[in-house]
Amino acid sequence: MEKRYFQPEIETMPVEQIKALQSERLVKQVQHVWDNVPYYRKKMEEKGVTPADIKGIEDLHKLPFLTKDDLRDAYPYGLMGKPKKDCVRIQSTSGTTGRRVVAFYTQHDIDLWEDCCARAIVAAGGTEEDVVQVSYGYGLFTGGPGLNGGSHKVGCLTIPTSSGNTDRQIQFMVDLESTILCCTPSYAAYLGESIEEKGFRDQIKLKAGIFGAEAWTQEMRQEIQNKLGIKAYDIYGLTETSGPGVSFECEEQTGMHINEDHFLAEIINPETGEVLPEGEKGELVFTSLTKEAFPLLRYRTKDLCVLNRKPCSCGRTHIKMSKPLGRSDDMLIIRGVNVFPSQIETVLLNEGMTPNYQIIVDRVNNTDTFDINVEMSQEMFSDSLGKVAEKEKQLVASLKAMLGIQAKVHLVEPKSITRSEGKAVRVIDKRKLYG
Ligand code: DLL
């Protein structure tokens, strides 16, 4: 099969050349930040580092980290690298002021961001023949605008449906014969379920999906692929680094290639900040090498990952990151035990349950309560009460085996858990642990 890339000269560049390019760009970027971002310059001065100390990527570790707390302290304009008159756009995460991330873009930043998204679309098999339905939210969220721009660059016919209005999504998908779907994995699962229910499975022409913005397991991938009859590709990014397209999967589906000409990745020990060797699990840290308006250096993502540079059959030479394996901050500690929501999802899907669930944690009489509501399939719902109770017992046992603690499992009616049109709300933690 002919291999296709959006920018082959960069995507298949020999590793030594990539590193040389990164070094050259890092030196320039550090000078840009030193000259234009007093907030970060001060951090460098406090650490006794000047641009003269940074001669290449081997010196990266000398630079101070940036965290979400810095973003909060510098909100709104304190980390900008260009004057307002040179910026053309902001994007933002949800969240209250202070917790909200606001990122800035020059036209050049948008252009490079869209290139990254275009690479992801081509890696998922996209060409100018494709009809790309972008069902990520548009507006402040980066998902819609990023994939929309990337789709234009590839020359695909782009349908900017945004998220929500599921009947209309399906109608467009059928009428316009969409071939690539871009949305969150939880919305893809919901669309798959709705398409099946409405009996449209034979009328959709989808071949691939580009899903990201939230954690999803291999089991969830399988479920979506089966329901929609497609190949489901992962895509990763965060508002702080532009949005989607920091990394993306190729046909191997074994991790996401990081766009290394724009983003320099490190893995650190989240406790100590020590840089870890390739192959070890730790917190992902990004340095943006080309961004003008919001040039973050050594930004701590809180996403726990593993990097690897084994050669890939697709021919791309850029390093791969694993799916995020959790966040150093989304981990729940229930009765003293560390619990990742993705572990719960794995158990539920392995047990043949639907991907519609909610984890509810509370504290009563100083003891944590741990409840999981899971929707039954329509068939299970018509089973006898005895059979349902038996299944609940079985799930409790499997969860105990995986997590080491007992959860109360409640099998609930089909459709009783609110569907998400963006990121699913999987965890309701009613305990007041902070502040
Ligand atoms: O979620 C950007 C995006 C949009 C990525 C569309 C992919 C597709 P934020 O809202 O700032 O940006 O959230 C960033 O979401 O630190 C991860 O914890 C999580 N995340 C993003 N992509 C993935 C993924 C967008 N593929 C935060 N798998 C990140 C797991 C992901 N988690």
pLDDT at 52: 98
pLDDT at 123: 98
Instruction: Return the closest-CA partner of residue 322 out of 263, 252, 384.
Output: 252
Domain ranges of the chain: 1-328, 332-434
Ligand 1 centre distance from Cα of residue 83 (Å) = 28
CA distance linking residue 11 with residue 13, whole number of Å: 6
pLDDT tens per residue, range 184-197: 988 898 899 899 99
Closest C-alpha residue for ligand 1 atom 18: 303
pLDDT at 204: 97
Pocket flag, ligand 1, residue 239 (CB < 6 Å): yes
Ligand 1 centre distance from Cα of residue 244 (Å) = 7
- Residue 308's beta-bridge partner residues? 320
Testing ligand 1's pocket by substitution, the residue of 94, 114, 214, 325 carrying the most ligand atoms inside 8 A of its CB is 214
Domain covering 1-328: architecture: 3-Layer(aba) Sandwich (3.40)
CA distance linking residue 88 with residue 110, whole number of Å: 9
pLDDT tens per residue, range 15-62: 999 999 999 999 999 999 999 999 999 999 999 999 999 999 999 999
Specify the ligand 1 atom closest to the Cα of 303: 18
Residue 79 is classified by DSSP as: T
Backbone φ and ψ of 343, nearest 5°: -65, -40
- What residues contact residue 248 under an 8 Å CB cut-off, 6+ apart? 116, 119, 120, 123, 124, 210, 233, 234, 235, 236, 256, 257
Closest C-alpha residue for ligand 1 atom 15: 213
Instruction: Return the closest-CA partner of residue 186 out of 62, 341, 59, 58.
Output: 341
Q: Is 253 helix (H, G, I), strand (E, B) or coil?
A: coil
- Residue 81's beta-bridge partner residues? none
Instruction: Return the closest-CA partner of residue 61 out of 339, 369, 267, 292.
Output: 267
Ligand 1 centre distance from Cα of residue 228 (Å) = 22
Q: DSSP strand E in 336-402: where?
A: 337-339, 357-364, 367-375
CA distance linking residue 376 with residue 358, whole number of Å: 13
Task: Report yes or no: 11 and 318 within 8 Å, Cβ to Cβ.
Answer: yes
Ligand 1 centre distance from Cα of residue 235 (Å) = 8
CA distance linking residue 123 with residue 247, whole number of Å: 11
Pocket flag, ligand 1, residue 345 (CB < 6 Å): no
pLDDT at 435: 41
Residue 21 belongs to what H/E stretch? helix 15-36
**What's the one-letter identity of residue 349?**
L
Pocket flag, ligand 1, residue 243 (CB < 6 Å): yes
Pocket flag, ligand 1, residue 284 (CB < 6 Å): no
Testing ligand 1's pocket by substitution, the residue of 92, 238, 246 carrying the most ligand atoms inside 8 A of its CB is 238
Task: Report yes or no: 5 and 11 within 8 Å, Cβ to Cβ.
Answer: yes
Specify the ligand 1 atom closest to the Cα of 330: 18
Specify the ligand 1 atom closest to the Cα of 246: 5
Pocket flag, ligand 1, residue 93 (CB < 6 Å): yes
Residue 305 belongs to what H/E stretch? strand 299-305
**pTM > 0.95:** no
CA distance linking residue 435 with residue 394, whole number of Å: 38
Ligand 1 centre distance from Cα of residue 213 (Å) = 3
Specify the ligand 1 atom closest to the Cα of 147: 6
CATH superfamily ID and name for 332-434: ANL, C-terminal domain (3.30.300.30)
Task: Report yes or no: 22 and 57 within 8 Å, Cβ to Cβ.
Answer: yes
Q: Cα–Cα distances in Å, from 222 out to 5, 253, 342, 353, 429?
A: 25, 12, 15, 13, 28
Instruction: Give the residue ranges of the chain where pLDDT is below 70.
Output: 1, 94-99, 330-331, 336, 338, 366, 432-435
Pocket flag, ligand 1, residue 244 (CB < 6 Å): yes
Task: Report yes or no: 179 and 131 within 8 Å, Cβ to Cβ.
Answer: yes
CA distance linking residue 118 with residue 112, whole number of Å: 10
Task: Report yes or no: 131 and 177 within 8 Å, Cβ to Cβ.
Answer: yes
Residue labelled with tokens 């339905």: 133
